[in-house]
Amino acid sequence: MARPETGIRKRILNFVRERLLAGEPPTVREVQAAFRFKSLASARAHLERLVASGDLRRVPGRARGLRLPDRPPAARFAAVPLLGRVQAGAFDYAAEEVEGHVWTSLRYPVEELFALRVRGESMTGAGLLPGDVVIVHRKAEAADGRIVVALVDDEATVKTLRRRDGQVELHPANPSFPVLRPAPERLAILGCVVEARRRYEPAGESW
């Protein structure tokens, strides 16, 4: 059950929003009068909580300074190269041959992103199936628990990175596959998986 102050705050937000959409920003005193608060401080406290929660914003120094929050910037998209296939199970050579491109929103600089296709069933427990495309943020290190694309002896695999007593382990998400414990000189992290794609129709050049 909603607390009483939550209910009144929602009503205040609706009141302020309607006034703003009508081009008539209310003052704190008008909010006080509309909701019959005994003090101006009570109305101000509710408005400040709405500003703090991001439901409203305030223009400093203006009596009618309440505004609706700014819209987030439109997402930027770009095509990142699909570099062949990556093995999720037994290894497969990670040949950097561009098979096509995958469109994705840019949470990272486009030059730091690439895509690889998954083959094998070692990561099915993490929701990565054969034929899926993973979008990877290039980085040479990864936090414990991240799904990474790693090279072991120049062969690529998708696994969950774990650290045990200073040893890097590459864990599958399928009990039928072994945990890999490569020596440091045999291991290179290509990047962290940040997104996965699955196609339900015949593949073309671009996703």
Active site residue 159: yes
CA 76 centroid distance within chain = 14
> What span, in angstroms and rounded, lies between the C-alpha atoms of 134 and 118?
7
Helix H or strand E segment including 8? helix 4-21
Q: Which of 42, 53, 105, 159 is catalytic?
A: 159
Catalytic residue among 53, 122, 139, 206, which?
122
Please indicate whether residue 38 is annotated as part of the active site.
no
What angle, 0 to 180 degrees and rounded to 10, lies between the N-to-C axes of helices 28-35 and 4-21?
A: 120
Measured at the CA of 151, the angle between CA 146 and CA 152, to 5 degrees, comes to 110
> Among all residues, which ones are annotated catalytic?
122, 159
